Amino acid sequence: MASPLRLTIAAGAGRDALVDAAWAEVQATFARADAAMSRFREDSELTKLNRRAPAAMPISRDLAKALAAADRARRVTDGRFEPRVVEALERIGYLGVPQGPAPASAPTRPARILGRAGRAGPMSVASPVDLGGIGKGLALRWAAAALSRLLATGPGLNLGYLVDAGGDIVAAGSPDGTASWLVAIEDPAGGTEPVAVAAVRERGAIATSSIRRLRWEHAGRTVHHLIDPRTGEPGGDGLAAVTVAGTDPAWAEVWSKALFLEGAAGIAVTARARGLAAWWVTSDGILEMTPAARVRTAWVAAEA
């Protein structure tokens, strides 16, 4: 899913075969998710579904679950999270494989993302969908479920683990049986030192929406991939990055994007009202965080 993938498992003697099995499980889970949800593959299910829109086709359980999760996320975030922005992404040059002909006018958005012919028939989308962020979060969720089953088997086994997919993380247990997993929050300005370090205890996840890497010039202006569905243009005025911690990696992904689109003027009110553990870095390099994030912060840069 266009992300480097890494698995870390708590130390333990004589468990090489189990570690190998865990790594194979993670790789297989991400390969399956990529085949279902990638906008950058000719042969993915999502590309085929997008190209058929609004016609229906049979789809896998994985893609159906992903589209249902995206639909729920859109409703819970009051539309801040909106995956039907493929036309806007392609218009500013963020191209995957072609997802279908561009509409002659701005696409209408039905209330629901996913349609179904009857109770158990083929499914459809009215307009092309991008599942990049939430897709990676779901892959992390599914990998964590598989790892928890695998690493809790056998006498005396309950190994902690951490899966890192391009900086988005899910973890369980601890690295040594007592301490928390420590996760650095990178400097979106490109500095080598993190702006803060968060502690992940028991079962938790962290996701970041940032314009550090996916930012480019288009038609004489700087643009990025985080589209505000209200305007169809890159959003998040005054922000460079938002990180959210929670219990589930897919929801951490959803909220990191939704909060980013609040911009610097609105993020604090929304994040605190929702009780979210969120850290954000403004365009001028200032780190801020919610009270829920502060209690999870193990270290913060002196100048923050």
Q: What is the pLDDT of residue 137?
A: 98
Domain boundary among 101, 130, 159: 130
- The count of structural domains within the chain is 2
What pLDDT shows up at residue 153? 58
The reply to whether 55 and 123 lie within a common domain is yes
Q: 49-65 pLDDT, tens per residue?
A: 999 999 999 999 999 99
User: Is residue 2 in a domain?
Assistant: no
Give the residue-averaged pLDDT of 223-249.
96
Residues 6 or more apart in contact with residue 259 via CB below 8 angstroms: 209, 242, 244, 267, 270, 271, 276, 278, 280
Is the domain of 196 the same as that of 289? Answer: yes
* 190 and 105 belong to one structural domain: no
Lowest mean pLDDT among 107-111, 200-204, 245-249, 260-264: 107-111
- Are 258 and 185 part of one and the same domain? yes
Q: Give the CA distances from residue 174 to residues 17, 22, 58, 160, 224, in Å, rounded to whole numbers and listed in that order.
A: 20, 16, 41, 5, 36
Which residue, of 68, 99, 130, is where some domain finishes?
130
Query: For the range 222-230, what are the long-range contacts, defined as Cβ-Cβ under 8 Å and sequence gap of 24 or more?
Result: 223/92, 223/93, 225/89, 225/94, 226/257, 226/260, 226/261, 227/82, 227/85, 227/88, 227/89, 228/261, 229/79, 229/80, 229/82, 229/84, 229/85, 230/79
CA–CA distance, 137 with 85 (Å, rounded to integer): 18
Which residues in 26-38 are b (16+ Cβ under 10 Å) and which e? beebbeebbbbbb
The predicted pLDDT at position 105 comes to 47
Separation of alpha carbons 214 and 193, rounded Å: 20
Q: What is the pLDDT of residues 138-166, one digit of tens each?
A: 999 999 999 988 887 554 456 789 999 99
Domain contains 184: yes
In a domain, 141, yes or no: no
Confidence of residue 239 (pLDDT cuts 50, 70, 90): very high
Instruction: Tokens for 235, please give them.
Output: 């959003």
Q: What is the span of the domain harbouring residue 125?
A: 40-130
Contact 80, 262 (CB under 8 A): yes
Judge if 189 and 105 occupy the same domain: no
Same domain, 197 and 283: yes
CATH assignment at residue 83: 1.10.3980.10
Q: Is there a domain that residue 166 lies in? A: no
Does some domain include residue 145?
A: no
The answer to whether position 17 is within a domain reads: no
Same-domain pairing of 192 and 124: no
Decide: 286 and 303 in contact? Cβ < 8 Å: no
126 and 50 inside one domain: yes
- Dist. CA 153–CA 242, nearest whole Å: 36
Residues 56, 122 share a domain: yes
Residue 24 lies in a domain: no
Q: Determine, yes or no, domain membership for 171.
A: no
The reported pLDDT for the residue numbered 107 is 54
**CATH number for 201:** 3.10.520.10
Cis omega before residue 103 (within 30°)?
Answer: no
Is the same domain home to 109 and 217? no
